[in-house]
Copies of this chain bind each other. A is one copy, B any other.
Amino acid sequence: MAYFDAASAAPLHPVARQALLAALDDGWADPARLYREGRKARMLLDAAREAAAEAVGCRADELVFTPSGTRAVHTGVAGALAGRRRVGRHLIVSAVEHSSVLHSAEVFESEGGSVTRVPVHRTGAVSPSGYAAALRADTALAVLQSANHEVGTTQPVAEVAEVCRSAGVPLLVDAAQSLGWGPVEGGWSLLAASAHKWGGPPGVGLLVVRKGVRFAAQGPADERESGRAPGFENIPAVVAAVASLRAVRAEAARESVRLRELTERIRVRVPRLVPDVEVVGDPERRLPGTVTFSCLYVDGETLLHELDREGFAVSSGSSCTSGTLTPSHVLKAMGVLSEGNVRVSLPPGTAAEDVERFLAVLPDAVAGVREKLGAPAAAATAAEPAALVVDALGKRCPVPVIELAKVFPGVPVGGTVRVLSDDEAARLDIPAWCEMRGQEYLGEEPAEGGTAYSVRRLG
């Protein structure tokens, strides 16, 4: 099996495994206790905190361990907002943040706060000027990821941090996807990360709050982790997480070059091998191991199953995948095609042969799915008679776009076709299809039982 889903979770690093076993023997006791076992546990925890702080580039007393990256984000956002409540109740996030950030923002809104979601370019990146425009006198906090989890695009964190700093607003960086590759540059104020993304065990996140940043932890607290992460410390996992971080950092310079070359192969060759594919995300400013593309006329879940059968573990931001009926908010915010979406995220150590085999297998896998769905061939010539209205009500992604494509050859140049659909993904995918095909998207309007999307044929 070739595991190409490191952005979800990386398998445990061998160094982490060793450290975990050792710390299970020496670090299981309560570090608050005075007896020898307690003191041993405390020493392990202190040493892990020092090493983690060094890797992050902060002071040890600025860093606490949390039960996950998600909890680090929840705690960090809530604590920073509460700490600056007197300044105001305004929060800035990008439109492509991880769901843990967006969920925090939703809770804040439900409690009366206001949230600005900064849009992104088609590459997935924000502009520093987007954050500058969003800043207000009552802005309590801004949040930005270091790199996007679905498309790998890296964000201009240092520039955004500078924009925020000038306005006196703290910036929380969600470094979940990038901390294994190196420290986050720039004058950020808070940082969250997740160990299982860099080959540590699950159960460990970290939250950094720079000295001088106003912070008021919310909810019940206790005396552990500076009052910022209640509950018995998970020292064996913390020790393993930090050991893994140091190990992947030691390999980062070499591995980043190697993985970047492998993902570049995918970026360049997939569009040549598979018709009607859109590779998404920034081609240059991106994580070394992540590449994402969308295949027209393909159902993401079926393609994932095909690839799984061929021995490849990848993920997808398409709708109908993992039990959700809405496409990825990231692809939506980027305005790119969401159907047939495949994210390949290579763990360190991925063999070039596995990537080559993936490229060998992909074209047939995509073609097979398209055939099952009755999708038009790339160079469609056979056409049904023109039908100016396509009724795709009750049909799920990617069927509405396939139906559109089927009738399109029969539409005269300058003519229009209306697609009736009640599928949320159509709102994203019909405009994306128009862009890929060089046709004009005229807009949408409510229609009985759903929405009508109008397309004019330009050529």
CB within 8 Å of B: which residues of A?
Answer: 1, 3, 5, 8-9, 11-12, 17, 20-21, 24, 28-30, 32-38, 67-71, 74, 78, 99-100, 103-104, 106-107, 194, 196, 201-203, 205, 219-223, 230-237, 301, 304-305, 307-308, 312-315, 321-323
Q: Which residues of B contact A221 (CB under 8 A)?
A: 103
Contact A28 B9 (CB under 8 A): yes
Contact A37 B106 (CB under 8 A): no
Contact A34 B70 (CB under 8 A): no
If the complex has contacts A222-B100, A230-B74, are A235 and B32 also in contact, measured as CB distance less than 8 A? Answer: no
Contact A30 B12 (CB under 8 A): no
Please give the distance in Å from A171's CB to the nearest CB on chain B: 19
Contact A313 B24 (CB under 8 A): no
Complex Cα spacing A118 to B409, Å: 78
Contact A236 B202 (CB under 8 A): yes
Please give the distance in Å from A44's CB to the nearest CB on chain B: 12
With both beta carbons as reference points, the residue of chain B lying nearest to A99 in the complex is identified as: B222
Contact B35 A308 (CB under 8 A): yes
Contact A314 B68 (CB under 8 A): no
If the complex has contacts A68-B232, A71-B230, A322-B32, are A37 and B222 also in contact, measured as CB distance less than 8 A? Answer: no
Complex Cα spacing A36 to B2, Å: 11
Q: Which residues of B contact A99 (CB under 8 A)?
A: 222
Number of identical protomers: 2
Q: Which residues of B contact A234 (CB under 8 A)?
A: 67-68, 201-203, 237
With both beta carbons as reference points, the residue of chain B lying nearest to A1 in the complex is identified as: B36
Contact B38 A313 (CB under 8 A): yes
Q: A104-B220, A203-B203 given. 7 additional CB < 8 A pairs? A: A1-B37, A38-B313, A67-B67, A68-B232, A100-B222, A100-B230, A103-B220
Contact A220 B29 (CB under 8 A): no
If the complex has contacts A68-B67, A71-B67, are A34 and B322 also in contact, measured as CB distance less than 8 A? Answer: yes
Contact A9 B202 (CB under 8 A): no
Complex Cα spacing A305 to B38, Å: 12
Counting from the closest, the 8 A-B pairs by CB-CB distance are A67-B67, A68-B231, A70-B231, A103-B220, A35-B313, A203-B234, A203-B203, A8-B30
Q: Which residues of B contact A24 (CB under 8 A)?
A: 12, 17, 20, 201
Contact B107 A308 (CB under 8 A): no
Chain B CB within 10 A, most for which of A20, A67, A71, A220: A220
If the complex has contacts A67-B71, A237-B203, A313-B33, are A103 and B9 also in contact, measured as CB distance less than 8 A? Answer: no
With both beta carbons as reference points, the residue of chain B lying nearest to A16 in the complex is identified as: B24
Contact A5 B30 (CB under 8 A): yes
A-B contact pairs, 8 of them (CB 8 A): A5-B35, A12-B28, A67-B68, A70-B230, A99-B222, A100-B231, A194-B232, A223-B323
Please give the distance in Å from A426's CB to the nearest CB on chain B: 23
Which single member of B11, B28, B201 contacts A196 (CB below 8 Å)?
B28
Please give the distance in Å from A397's CB to the nearest CB on chain B: 16
Please give the distance in Å from A184's CB to the nearest CB on chain B: 21
Please give the distance in Å from A300's CB to the nearest CB on chain B: 10
Complex Cα spacing A9 to B29, Å: 6
Complex Cα spacing A356 to B307, Å: 64
Chain B CB within 10 A, most for which of A9, A236, A308: A9
Q: Which residues of B contact A315 (CB under 8 A)?
A: 33
Complex Cα spacing A221 to B323, Å: 17
